[in-house]
C-alpha cells in the first residue's frame, strides 16, 4: 500500500526515479556503502516486518489498551540481515520503542522446535490470537524475487484505473534469473521495470544506470539470489538435494500457488488494512503513516 502510493506520487509529481525497493536489509546496507548516489532513489518504506512491529506497538496497542513498553515483537525471518536491521536506530516508531525487538531465523525456529520435541502432526486443535488478520496473495509473494514489485503494481493499476482489475499476474517480473527487465503496461501507462536478485547482479544493474545505458521507473533488488525464499536464515538442504533441485524456483512456485488460492490477492482489498487506514492512518502516504511506516538511510563511508 505505502510503496505503491510512493511510486504513484513520484511518477505524478516528478519525484526521484527510478524508485528502488527497500525490503532487503542486506541490499540496503550494500547500497549505503557502495551506491550512496542512489540513496534518494530508495523507497522510504520500512520492510514488512518492521512496519508490522510499528503497527503492533502503535495502532494495535492503542486499540487493545496495551502499554507498548510491555509488547515484545519477535520476527521469524528467512534472513540473517534482519537481525542487524532490527537494531537500526532509524527503525523506531511514534511509541518511542524499536519496531521489532528480536529476530530469529526460520532455521533457528526449526532447531528450537526440534529441541523442544514439539510434534506438530499430533498436536490437538486449538485457537490462537490473530491480531491483524490474514495476509493477501500480494503479501505472500513478497518472498520471491519480483514479488514486491508485483504486489505494488496490483494496487497501482487499480488506483489508476479506478477498477477492480482481474488480470493481475505480472509474469514479466517473475522467475529466478539474476536480472529481469521489462516494460509493463499498468492501466495504459508503460512502466519500465527491472528486478535484480543477488548483490553481484545489483551492482551490474546500477552501474549500467550510472553509465546512462538504461532507464527505469521502478526497480526491485533483493540481496539473496532468488529473493527471501533463498535467504541466509533458511533451512540448509544437503548437496544431494541442492545439486539436483532449484530450491529457489520451487519455493517461489509455492508462493505463487498460494497466492492464486487465496480469496483476496490485492493489498488494498484486505479488510484489516482498510480498517487500519480508516481508523488510524487516514490514507496511504499520510503524515501519520510516514511517521510510523517510513524511514531514511544514510551514506556509510567505512565498513
Residues known to be catalytic: 3, 6, 23, 43, 82, 85, 90, 228
- Grid cell of 6 as nine digits: 510512493
Beta bridge partners of 191: 184
Distance of CA 292 to the CA centre of its chain: 16
Q: Name which of 48, 49, 53, 40 is nearest 10 in CA terms.
A: 40
What is the chain's alpha carbon radius of gyration, rounded to the nearest angstrom? 19
Beta bridge partners of 218: 19, 193
- Check residue 277 and report its DSSP letter: I
- By the 10 Å C-beta count (0-12 exposed, 13-18 middle, 19+ buried), 244 is classed as exposed
CA-to-CA separations, 41 to 22, 28, 251, in angstroms, rounded = 10, 11, 29
- Grid cell of 72 as nine digits: 515484545
Assign 3-state DSSP to the chain and report helix, strand, coil percentages, each to 5: 50, 10, 40
The C-alpha atoms of residue 268 and residue 151 are separated, in whole angstroms, by 10
Amino acid at each position: 500500500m505505502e510503496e505503491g502510493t510512493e511510486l504513484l506520487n513520484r511518477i505524478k509529481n516528478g519525484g526521484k526515479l527510478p524508485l528502488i525497493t527497500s525490503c532487503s536489509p542486506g541490499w540496503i546496507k550494500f547500497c549505503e556503502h557502495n551506491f550512496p548516489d542512489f540513496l534518494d532513489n530508495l523507497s522510504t518504506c520500512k520492510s514488512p516486518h518492521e512496519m508490522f512491529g510499528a503497527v503492533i506497538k502503535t495502532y494495535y496497542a492503542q486499540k487493545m489498551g496495551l502499554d507498548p513498553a510491555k509488547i515484545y515483537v519477535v520476527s521469524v525471518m528467512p534472513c540473517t540481515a534482519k537481525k542487524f536491521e532490527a537494531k537500526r536506530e532509524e527503525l523506531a516508531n511514534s511509541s518511542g520503542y524499536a519496531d521489532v525487538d528480536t529476530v530469529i531465523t526460520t532455521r533457528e525456529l526449526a532447531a528450537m522446535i526440534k529441541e523442544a520435541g514439539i510434534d506438530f502432526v499430533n498436536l490437538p486443535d486449538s485457537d490462537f490470537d490473530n491480531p491483524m488478520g490474514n495476509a493477501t496473495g500480494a503479501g505472500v509473494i513478497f518472498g520471491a524475487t519480483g514479488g514486491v514489485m508485483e504486489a505494488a503494481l496490483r494496487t497501482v493499476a487499480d488506483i489508476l484505473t479506478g477498477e477492480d482489475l482481474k488480470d493481475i499476474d505480472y509474469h514479466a517480473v517473475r522467475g529466478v534469473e539474476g536480472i529481469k527487465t521489462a516494460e509493463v503496461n499498468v492501466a495504459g501507462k508503460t512502466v519500465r521495470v527491472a528486478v535484480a536478485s543477488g548483490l553481484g547482479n545489483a551492482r551490474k544493474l546500477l552501474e549500467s544506470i550510472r553509465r546512462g545505458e538504461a532507464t527505469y521507473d521502478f526497480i526491485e533488488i533483493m540481496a539473496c539470489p532468488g529473493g527471501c525464499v533463498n535467504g541466509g536464515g533458511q533451512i540448509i538442504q544437503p548437496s544431494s538435494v541442492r545439486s539436483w533441485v532449484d530450491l529457489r524456483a520451487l519455493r517461489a512456485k509455492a508462493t505463487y500457488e498460494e497466492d492464486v488460492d487465496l480469496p483476496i490477492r490485492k493489498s488494498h482489498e484486505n479488510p484489516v488494512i482498510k480498517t487500519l487506514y480508516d481508523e488510524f492512518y487516514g490514507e496511504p502516504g499520510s503524515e501519520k503513516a510516514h511517521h510510523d511506516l517510513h524511514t531514511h538511510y544514510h551514506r556509510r563511508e567505512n565498513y
